[in-house]
Amino acid sequence: MKILKFGGTSVGSVESISKLLQIVEREDQSTGNPVIVLSAMSGVTNLLSAMADKASQGGTFQDELKQLEERHFDVIKELLAVSRQNPVFTQLRILFNEIEDLLQGVSMLRELTPRTRDLVLSYGERCSTFMISKIAGQEKDNTIFVNAADLVKTDSSFGQAKVNMELTEILIRDYYEKNKSKMLFVTGFIASNDEGRITTLGRGGSDYTAAIFGSALNASEIEIWTDVNGMMTADPRMVKKAFSLPELSYTEAMELSFFGAKVIYPPTMIPAFMKKIPIVIRNTFEPDFIGSVIKHNCDSSDLAIKGISSINDISIINIEGSGMVGKAGFSGRLFSLLAREQINVILITQSSSEHSITFAIHPTDAAKAQRVIEHEFELELLAKKLEAPIFEKGLAVLAIVGENMKQTPGISGKLFHALGRNGINVRAIAQGSSEYNISVIISHDDLNKGLNAVHDAFFVDLNKTLNLFCLGTGNIGKTLFRQVQEHRQFLQEHNGIQIRVVGIGNTRKMYFDPDGIDLENWETTLDSAGQTADLSAFVEKMKNLNLPNCVFADNTASLKPIEFYHEIFSSNISIVTCNKIGNSSSYSQYKLFKDTARTHGVDYFYETNVGAGLPIVRTLKDLMVSGDRVLSIEAILSGTISYIFNNYKGDVTFHDIVKQAQEKGYTEPDPRDDLKGTDFMRKMLILARDAGYPLEAEDVHIESMLPQSCIDAQSVDEFYAELKKEGAFFENLKKQAQAERKVLRYIAKLEDGKATINLQMVDDTHPFYALSGSDNIISFTTDRYKERPMVVKGPGAGADVTAAGVFADIVNVGAQ
């Protein structure tokens, strides 16, 4: 025989009750006559509680009562045959009148005792269960409504009564024996004390009722029917990627639920555990899904942790002072006091020096805790053996849980890395000695981000989500969006990475959507729904959204975004940029960016600063980190200059070849911007810095390839005219090179910490001799690559390859 418990969400509407009845019927057909335990309709317990509070302050509650009545009556009208409705209406009206009388009394007395509150709350379960037993009764003639208050006996701790298991089990068995042929519809949550006064088992306690019945009747299984697919790796409302766990142990379920996984009430585990009865969590709205089994010998799983749960709103109290060092009785005194005062302590941590204790409680208990502690330790406080307790609110507990933790090293490292990398400050840590859980206290504002970041860190087989903010919608930005869109599925399937573009900005507009912007229509969305662009508001928004694994991609060539880099890194957001300005201005700025990224544990990738998508920056970095020593670097890092010299052969004049390069779109509007070598110099400066030389722009010695008259020309036209006039100058160079079987190349060199760029003639033994198109080339001579330098060569410009380089950098964020 099974116990089937349906939670508030499963009895909350006509639709869910219909599904519930089908599930009950199916069970009755297969295993036979289950015992059904029901909660109040969703929200009803909260509403009753709020009505009682209101009444105790003299407020009105009639409207809410009417609402409650209507919710129940609407279900009856829909699901019960008209001929059967009247007696049920009558009975429910009696119950609602009783609630009204009770609340009138509370209102008159302006007093709401825990005892009265329990009585008021009990009507939720009594109404729902009575109603559903009658609805089920029209198909079956053996249904019977059972008020669990008659069978579950407790002490008088109203609000969270302690069950007398022995007596309760006898009463349940006895009742069951007498009603064996009946299908029992039992109220969850409610019980009674010795005097027959209604008590409750604590919020969420209907699960506990189910376990108590399961234990008393030696059920084969306790099924908890709810609105999610079982116990999941995290609360699916907070972590979209949470998935359901096929199996977990009682301890794991207990730890997860203690730390907030509301899907099951922690005490439920005890009676089931004692009798080794499996608890299965199932989804009323997806009855064919197998759900999660909580059981005794659960199969060992590959997962290092089973789940992450959290308690939303907690306060902590920190007590410090010499008075507690070595005093064995101190914590005993403190925690007995809190227990006596019924203050629930969620988590405790004590420093190893025993100089301080921090513990977490519900904020509603904070004032009381302060009062009783100050009273109890008055003498110690006066004698300054204790400091005044410090209270902090607005915090949350995040806990990772799993039995495998014991065997798996590095779990806490992973947890703290995920939190640290996302800028989440840990206020206190507690690890149970059983090593089934590690709990951390963090700011409440960081909870959502923390849960998602930690979930991504532990469940690596799942797609890791990168939240991307993109600035710049020019050629590179546009191409990047297209590439991300085209490659999305592949990345998800093969690399387990999900890229979600959550913010787009250009000089006109900016738009954000934390659920991800549809990249098919980003332009229309940005134009129609975007707000006016404001870079500082863009950065503020990135920070305020507080999303995990954030990346800021700067696809501009503007100075403005650079001013925000430091602030962005400091907010624990990684930066990927093709904008060279940041790294090629002052060395101190370059260093500041690198250091800030490192101290905040985020990435700073700028592969496309040099040679577009070619792996140059990465190669240099790999050489350096693996202990190689760079002896020299030679490079041609300007696509324009490369094109010009690669094609300056035969009869063509230098003037014509520059023109041609301009016509093909390789050059800047004023070709001198390329030919003067400034852009080339910036790239070389970045490489020199990455190679460990703190150079400034003026340290790079550039020998201009242009005669002075060309440089001095006032306009582009004048420049071309001068270039034509100087034809002989270039012709001579070419001829001289040809005579020596060499070619002209404009090459940068870094050697002994000195960087130069000049025009050279190289023969066919030089790796730069055979170059075509607008290729970039770089050769690294290092300790390991001494005889034959390592060469990287290929197209070093163009929107496609640059965007691809940015894309690769984005994908690499967080990879190490």
Ligand X SMILES: Nc1ncnc2c1ncn2[C@@H]1O[C@H](COP(=O)(O)OP(=O)(O)O)[C@@H](O)[C@H]1O
Q: Does 7 bind ligand PHD (CB under 6 A)?
A: yes
> Does residue 129 bind ligand PHD (CB under 6 A)?
no
- How many residues can be counted in the chain? 816
Cα–Cα distance for residue pair 350/633, rounded to 1 Å = 56
Name the token pair of 592: 């500041």
Q: Which residue is nearest to ligand X (CB)?
A: 7
Q: Which residues are CB-neighbours of 640 under 8 A, at least 6 positions away? A: 661, 666, 667, 668, 671, 674, 675, 774
Residue in 211, 231, 373, 550 binding ligand X, rule: CB under 6 A: 231
Examine residue 226 and tell whether it contacts ligand X (CB under 6 A): yes
Given the rule CB under 6 A, which of 28-36, 205-213, 516-524, 650-658 is the region that contacts ligand PHD?
Answer: 205-213
- Which amino acid is present at 454? V
- Among 3, 4, 8, 343, the residue binding ligand PHD under the rule CB under 6 A is 8
- Of the candidate spans 56-64, 235-243, 569-577, 746-754, the one that interacts with ligand X by CB under 6 A turns out to be 235-243
Which one among 261, 453, 480, 759 touches ligand X, defined by CB under 6 A? 261
Tell whether residue 671 is a contact of ligand PHD (CB under 6 A): no
Place of tokens 């008075």: 323
Distance (Å, whole) CA 198 – CA 119: 6
* Residue 477 binds ligand PHD, judged by CB under 6 A: no
649: helix, strand or coil: coil
Tell whether residue 677 is a contact of ligand PHD (CB under 6 A).
Answer: no
List own/partner pairs for 563-571 with CB under 8 A and 24 or more apart: 564/535, 564/536, 564/539, 565/593, 565/596, 566/592, 566/593, 566/596, 567/539, 568/539, 568/542, 569/593, 569/596, 569/597, 569/600, 569/602, 569/604, 570/596, 570/600, 571/423, 571/542, 571/543
Residue 187 as a binder of ligand X (CB under 6 A): the answer is no
> What string of DSSP letters covers 289-340?
S--EEEESSPPP-S-S--EEEEEEEEEEEEEE-GGGTT-HHHHHHHHHHHHH
CB of 45 vs ligand X, minimal distance in Å: 10
**DSSP code at position 655:** H
127/657 with CB nearer ligand PHD: 127
Q: Are 138 and 87 in contact (CB under 8 A)?
A: no
Tell me if 234 contacts ligand X by CB under 6 A.
yes
Choices 125-133, 232-240, 625-633, 670-678; region in contact with ligand X by CB under 6 A = 232-240
Burial (0-12, 13-18, 19+ Cβ within 10 Å), 413: exposed
User: CB of 38: closest distance to ligand PHD in angstroms?
Assistant: 9
Rounded Cα gap, residues 212 and 215, in angstroms = 5
Interaction partner, residue 546 (ligand PHD, ligand X, none; CB < 5-8 Å by kind): none
Scanning 199-207, 326-334, 462-470, 597-605 for contacts with ligand PHD by CB under 6 A, the matching segment is 199-207
Closest contact distance (angstroms) between CB of 227 and ligand X is 5
Residue 124 interacting with ligand PHD (CB under 6 A): yes
Q: Is 40 in the site for ligand PHD (CB under 6 A)?
A: yes
Cα torsion 177, 178, 181, 185: sign = negative
**Site size with ligand X, rule: CB under 6 A:** 22
The CB density around residue 788, as the number of other CB atoms within 10 Å, is 9
Burial of 5 (0-12, 13-18, 19+ CB in 10 A): buried
Gap between the Cα atoms of 701 and 708, Å rounded: 17
Place of tokens 């003026």: 698
Q: Which does 124 bind (CB under 5 to 8 A by kind): ligand X, ligand PHD, none?
A: ligand PHD
Determine if 307 is a binding residue for ligand X (CB under 6 A).
yes
Check residue 39 for interaction with ligand PHD (CB under 6 A). yes
**By three-state DSSP, how is residue 184 classified?**
strand
- Determine which residue in the list 16, 45, 268, 776 makes contact with ligand PHD, applying CB under 6 A: 45
| Binding of residue 205 to ligand PHD (CB under 6 A) | yes
Angle separating helix axes 654-663 and 727-739, nearest 10 degrees: 100
Which segments of 600-700 does DSSP mark as H helices, in order?
617-625, 639-647, 654-663, 672-675, 678-690
* Rounded least distance, CB 224 to ligand X, Å: 7
Q: Which of 10, 193, 315, 782 binds ligand X (CB under 6 A)?
A: 10
Counting contacts by CB under 6 A, is residue 267 touching ligand X?
no
Q: What's the maximum distance between 2 C-alpha atoms anywhere in the chain?
A: 116
Residue 232 in the binding site for ligand X (CB under 6 A)? yes
Residue 188 CB, nearest approach to ligand PHD (Å): 5
| Residue 152 vs 239, nearer CB to ligand X | 239
Residue 8 binding ligand X, by CB under 6 A: yes
- Contact positions with ligand X (CB under 6 A) in 50-79: none
Q: Which is nearer to ligand PHD, 39 or 572 (CB)?
A: 39
Instruction: Yes or no: say if 355 and 320 are a contact pair by the CB < 8 Å rule.
Output: yes
| By CB under 6 A, residue 172 contacts ligand X | no
H/E stretch holding 755: strand 754-762
Output the six-digit token pair for 411. Answer: 């779990």
Q: Least distance (Å) from ligand PHD to the CB of residue 310?
A: 17
Query: Which of 306, 683, 734, 793 does the annotation list as catalytic?
Result: 683
| Smallest separation (angstroms) from ligand X to the CB of 7 | 2
Options 220-228, 464-472, 659-667, 752-760: segment touching ligand X (CB under 6 A): 220-228
697-709 per-residue burial string, b: 16 or more CB within 10 A, e: under 16: eeebebebbbeee
683 flagged as catalytic: yes
Quick check: 262 binds ligand X (CB under 6 A)? yes
Residues that bind ligand PHD (CB under 6 A): 7-8, 39-40, 45, 124, 188-189, 203-207
Residues marked active site are found at 683
Residues that bind ligand X (CB under 6 A): 7-10, 39, 42, 204, 226-228, 231-232, 234-237, 256, 261-263, 307, 309
